[in-house]
A = this chain, B = another copy of it.
Amino acid sequence: MEVGKSVPRVDAFDKVTGRARYADDLCPRPVLEAKILHSTIANGWVKSMDISRAQALPGVVKVLTCFDVPAHQYPTPGHPWSVEEAHQDVSDRKLLNRRVRIYGDDIAAVVAQDALTAQRALELIQVEYETYPPLLTPEQAMADGVKPLHEEFPGNVLKRHVSEIPMPESDFKCAGDVLSFPGYHQFHGHYETQQVQHCHLENPVSWAYVEGGRITVVTSTQIPHIVRRVVGQALGIPWGSVRILKPYIGGGFGNKQEVLYEPLNAWLCTQVGGRTVRLDLSREETFQNTRSRHPISFDVRAAVDGDGFLMARECIAVSNQGGYASHGHAIVSNAVTGFRQTYLDQLAHRSEAWTVYTNIASPGAMRGYGIPQCNFACECMMDDIALQFGLDPYQFRYQNLMPPGYVDPLNGITCHSTGARECLEKGREFIDWDRLRREYQGQSGPVRRGVGMAVFSYKTGVWPISLETSSARVVLNQDGTVQLQLGATEIGQGGDTVFSQMAAQAIGIPTEDVHIVSTQDTDTAPFDTGAYASRQTYVTGHAIKKAGLLFREKVLAYARELLKRPGELDIRGREVVDAASGEGLLTLAELASEAFYSLDHCVHITAEATSQCKENTFSFGCCFAEIEVDIPVGKIKVLNIVNVHDSGRLINPKLAEAQVHGGMSMGLGYALSEEMKYDPKTGRLLNGNLLDYKLPTALDHPELHALFVETDDPSGPFGNKSLGEPPAIPVAAAVRNALLHATGVAVNTLPLSPQRLLEAFRKGGLL
């Protein structure tokens, strides 16, 4: 079995020795450098621009402004294209924008012979603005009389949708905006999450050149095939005339699931005669001009019966979209869907989701895609309900969990397998829940301890909301090893390693005999939409399995031709064997040598297959956290923390554990310290750098514990389910609930920073 083994990462050696080549390492030097002029207002218009001094600067090749770009707008998110216009993404930006919608909006660009000259030229451009007050919250943006950010959306509401679901076997009808459930315990809560940034190590960087009349962009992206399409859309050229190369990337976490600067880079290249142009974003630009996690406010209601069963819930979520649509309404929509899914409502569920344009830096996809936000709301609510009605938070959750076979009433996604209960049991035992819940009850004094928990469920891929499709190609080498070529991307998560294991498993050879083609070249790589939605091991896994089995069949057919013997054949290790006796008949190296060089029948054995995935499944998990809080200092110290995951069968347990560690780290930053802050007067991001933005380091963390409950999901290619995003989801609510346990104070807004805790403790009478 190659699947299920903790084989070392195929890219480990190159990455730890610094030998792995990232986009910028591949860029020829010297090269033309592009720099972007960012607006110094958050809301308004560019009235005019004087570029004469910039143009005159020696070394400047070209200055281009928002007055020069093509008139049409294009969308940026990394979604599969839809042939139906109604399902296409919002096209709300140009390559450079006259209408300024965020502080630092892209209004001009300089291409120069070196970066310093380009930077100096930017400083010589004079801009005249028409300025409006910055609108930083949905409330401000939806107020009467404000100017719309996009004329297509006069009230600044990108979208609002309502879902009212009577549960099967229930004759309950939703009535109006507020649920009314006479005879049940009623709960109402309000929770708010903050805006945080991915903080991947590698800032966005790309370089573009024209070759053969077509444009190539080498870029740090999670979604090369989607970048190809969006560059085509943005430049108004056929998609086939764009080529994207995606080498190793230094993290993405969803930020590189969007096509942000590749179109501008490509266009600038075309404006200087197709010469190679490099566009390298600074950390500050990455904060201000790329994506982040949406701040979402949740208004939630619930009705619970006397036995502690959830009867109905309502979730009204308002998402602050910033200046550009990015993934549009999809993320808050996913948030209210996720709010619905972990637990079963017996009677009814209502949700309402709003996406509102404002002038903050536009959020987009970030690990969890709305679920970390709704999980905070949902799991805080579960503890608050338990506290209010005297239920045990563990038992209350446990008894309301989605049952096996659950089918989501709106999208039909089915719970094919669940280890949720076992995850809870394992976590409870690991953290010693019962003892700590008792021990930490009723403390006094300035330093107190508590234990909290949170549960989540997570889908696997995007079907049936959107298309799920992937292709894989397997090529025989002369020595009997194979090449595995995919459109799916390694983005640091270990994808290449588990893909190699899957191919090895399907073919029947050792993983080390699978050489994966890590760089995606859209000219030759099989099509795949890329790394997002924790989809690749599931959706691409199916394609790898299909191509691997097809390849195996072709190899065995050729072996039958060579061996001319009766009986079933099999591939084991590096040999073709008699399936019954296991006797080795022919090494794959010998077979390959014949296949390549036979004067009689030469054939280059390859297999390529598309798998369209029309299935989805839920993974589950939970976090248990034990904390200590220093009340006068407002500081939480996490003493012990564990995530327990049911991601189906693990392809590589060691890599799965590493994936969980990374997610937990991200969850702790989300819980305790990270937040993007704006100057309310100007709308300027105040802490868009790694000094002022409080990203936790390894030293800020306790030992991170990852446990698994392996289920064998029947819909997964190898029994596996989503794992990439889930680990980040439950941490913040678990810590917040531990704080509630320790202090009795419910802090409903993230992050649980000292300032916020002090205010809450003061309000709660602890200080």
Contacts and interface: CB of A to CB of B under 8 A. Distances in A.
A10 interface: yes
Interface string A524-544: 101100000000000000000
Interface residues of A, number: 69
A126 to B, nearest CB: 35
A214 B515 contact: yes
A478 B240 contact: yes
A526 B604 contact: yes
Interface string A592-603: 011011110111
Contacts of A11: 212
A524 B485 contact: yes
A478 B594 contact: no
A601 B477 CA distance: 32
Each complex incorporates copies of this chain amounting to 2
Contacts of A523: 475, 483, 485, 515, 517
A213 interface: yes
A80 interface: yes
B524 A517 contact: yes
A485 B213 CA distance: 17
Interface stretch (A18-26, A163-171, A185-193, A279-287): A18-26
Contacts of A515: 212, 214, 240-241, 523
A480 B603 contact: no
A515 B524 CA distance: 11
A130 interface: no
A611 to B, nearest CB: 9
A718 to B, nearest CB: 22
A612 interface: yes
Given A81-B597, A597-B80, A597-B467, A240 B480 contact: yes
A211 interface: yes
B602 A467 contact: yes
A86 to B, nearest CB: 13
A479 B477 CA distance: 32
Contacts of A594: 83
A443 interface: no
A39 interface: no
User: Which of A21, A209, A469, A589: most chain B Cβ within 10 A?
Assistant: A469
A612 B599 CA distance: 9
Contact of A212 (B14, B213, B467, B473): B14
A518 B212 contact: yes
Given A232-B479, A479-B238, A211 B612 contact: no
A32 to B, nearest CB: 13
A507 to B, nearest CB: 14
30 contacts: A11-B212, A14-B211, A19-B209, A19-B210, A19-B274, A21-B211, A25-B28, A28-B29, A81-B478, A81-B596, A81-B597, A83-B597, A83-B598, A212-B515, A228-B478, A229-B478, A239-B477, A240-B477, A240-B480, A240-B481, A240-B513, A464-B599, A467-B597, A469-B596, A469-B602, A475-B523, A485-B523, A485-B524, A527-B604, A601-B612
Given A25-B28, A464-B599, 12 more contacts: A14-B211, A14-B212, A29-B29, A80-B597, A81-B593, A83-B594, A83-B597, A212-B516, A228-B478, A232-B479, A467-B602, A521-B524
Interface of A: 10-11, 13-14, 19-21, 25-26, 28-29, 80-83, 209-214, 228-229, 232, 238-241, 274-275, 464, 467, 469, 471, 473, 475, 477-483, 485, 513, 515-518, 521, 523-524, 526-527, 589, 593-594, 596-599, 601-604, 606, 608, 610, 612
